[in-house]
């Protein structure tokens, strides 16, 4: 039965929006409200984590929270209803929203019809019209009607070969004393291919296992549970095994000391991006070791400069400025490869990415139009970018559109590395640790502050000569920072 238009208007549903330009799912990190709480238009109700960032979602309705559809830690597809709000709680008790019904009737009026295209919400966009919709799970019939065909259809779905089947309306009858999953498992036991392989490897007959998964599906835990007593009790008539010899000192079960963590969020996005970059753009990495003693002295002087008061001044700031000066001298580096159109896109702006290690993983927000900023402006933006990243509040927009990147591996005491390009970018500069080393200075060996820089670049865009000149210029500025003025 379909809810009336008045009830549909009373209960408003908020769907998981696309908060990151084409993302398909997000994990609910935290709910800030519970059923019965009063909410207002624009109030933040939850925090979700996408493959790019953690984002707070505001509700676009006034009312009282009626239901939270998912708990914390659950990954939800974009376009799925996550919360419903009773916008007229004073009207008295009412049933749940019509969304809980198996099917929706056509909208009663044009105003209630689903809008075409993607609709802007307070954060991000609604699901695209072509977004994949998960099929509602059919209720299991209590009568074991056609167990073979139902079992085969569900197993085909587990194997990824599901075909549309007509809806069967269950006929309620008194429950039989048999196990609730008997109907589903009357035919071939239901299990996903990896679970079947596990059972085969362990020598377990799936037909002997009592499933605990939804729809009578056998899970990995079911197989392991069945394997444990099988290993402890020998079959009847089998020869009594000889007691196993004590394990050699120092040997332990490796599986007991391992943990498996689902790949999701930032880690999943990082893995996909690094694989895509490493096997798409031909990387070349060059290195140079440079005396940065004068730059380190300039850092200390700038900390006392009134124009830099309240700003964070560190070596990374001057490395960033040196990189920007070198890019201005070699603008052909600041480009992107357009594979689809077979074009090179030269960019007259520099969005400078700064790789940041956060508790959620590696992210690379960027400073927009960094090449046009003064040193105080660059310092302010750099400080804000790092602080926001550490708080886990970096927005997806801040991590898109980068052209080149700096990664400061020196903060971990590392001399340098071979950084992998961010997809779509042309170059990435690794800044190593600054160490006191013996160095020939003005004909004499002296203790000087020295660092190693590494530049990785896309060899489709940048020839060895151009990449070498860029790296050499960055080093030249850091060796004699007055070039920030003469070259800048």
DSSP 348: S
Extract the tokens encoding 32: 């800030």
- Catalytic residue of the set 66, 330, 441, 459: 459
Residue with tokens 């994949």: 132
Estimate to the nearest angstrom the gap between the alpha carbon of 172 and the chain centroid: 44
For CA atoms 72, 73, 74, 77, give the dihedral sign: positive
Active-site annotation holds for 459: yes
Give, in degrees to the nearest 5, the angle at Cα 430 between 425 and 434: 160
215 sits in the region (left: phi over 0; alpha: psi -120 to 50; else beta) called: left
C-alpha 102/C-alpha 269 separation (Å) is: 34
Ramachandran area for residue 63 (φ above 0: left; ψ -120 to 50: alpha; else beta)? left
Beta strands in 408-467 (DSSP E): 427-431, 435-441, 444-458
Considering only CA atoms, which of 324, 320, 283, 326 is closest in space to residue 423?
A: 283
Q: Which residues carry out catalysis?
A: 459
């Amino acid at each position: 039965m379909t809810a009336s238009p008045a009830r549909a208007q009373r209960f408003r549903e908020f769907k998981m929006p696309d908060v990151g330009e084409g993302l398909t799912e997000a994990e609910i990190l935290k709910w800030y409200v519970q059923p019965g709480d009063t909410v207002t238009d624009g109030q933040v109700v939850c925090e979700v984590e996408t493959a790019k960032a953690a984002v707070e979602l505001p509700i676009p309705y006034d009312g009282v929270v009626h239901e939270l559809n998912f708990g914390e830690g659950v990954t939800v597809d974009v376009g799925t209803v996550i919360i419903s709000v009773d916008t007229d709680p004073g009207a008295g008790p009412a049933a749940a929203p019509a969304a809980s019904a198996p099917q929706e009737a056509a909208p009663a009026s044009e105003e209630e019809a689903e809008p075409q295209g993607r609709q802007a919400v307070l954060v991000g966009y609604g699901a695209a019209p072509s977004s994949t919709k998960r099929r509602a799970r059919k209720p299991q019939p209590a009568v074991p009607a056609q167990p073979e065909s139902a079992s085969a259809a569900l197993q085909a779905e587990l194997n990824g070969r599901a075909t549309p089947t007509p809806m069967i309306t269950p006929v309620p009858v008194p429950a039989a004393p048999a196990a609730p999953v008997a109907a589903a498992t009357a035919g071939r036991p239901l299990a996903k291919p990896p679970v079947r392989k596990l059972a085969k490897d362990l020598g377990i007959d799936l037909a002997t296992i009592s499933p605990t998964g939804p729809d009578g599906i056998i899970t990995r835990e079911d197989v392991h549970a069945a394997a444990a007593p099988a290993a402890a009790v020998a079959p009847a008539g089998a020869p009594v095994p000889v007691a196993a010899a004590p394990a050699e000192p120092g040997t332990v079960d490796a599986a007991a000391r391992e943990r498996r963590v689902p790949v999701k969020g930032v880690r999943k996005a990082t893995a996909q991006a690094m694989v895509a970059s490493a096997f798409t753009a031909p990387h070349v990495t060059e290195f140079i070791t440079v005396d940065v003693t004068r730059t380190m002295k300039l850092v200390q002087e700038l900390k006392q400069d009134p124009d830099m008061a309240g700003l964070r001044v560190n070596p990374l700031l001057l490395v960033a400025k040196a990189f920007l000066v070198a890019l201005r001298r070699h603008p052909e580096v600041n480009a992107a490869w357009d594979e689809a159109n077979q074009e090179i896109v030269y960019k007259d702006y520099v969005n400078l990415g700064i790789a940041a290690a956060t508790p959620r993983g590696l992210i690379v927000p960027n400073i927009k139009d960094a090449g046009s900023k003064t040193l105080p402006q660059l310092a302010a933006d750099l400080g804000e970018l790092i602080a926001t990243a550490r708080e886990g509040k970096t927005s997806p927009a801040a991590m898109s559109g980068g052209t080149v990147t700096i990664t400061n591996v020196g903060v971990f005491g590392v001399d340098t590395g071979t950084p992998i390009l961010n997809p779509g970018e042309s170059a990435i500069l690794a800044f190593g640790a600054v160490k006191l080393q013996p160095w020939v200075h003005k004909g004499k060996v002296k203790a000087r502050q020295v660092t190693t820089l590494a530049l990785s670049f896309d060899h489709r865009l940048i020839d060895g000569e151009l990449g070498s000149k860029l790296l050499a210029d960055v080093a030249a500025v850091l060796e004699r920072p007055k070039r920030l003025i003469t070259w800048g």
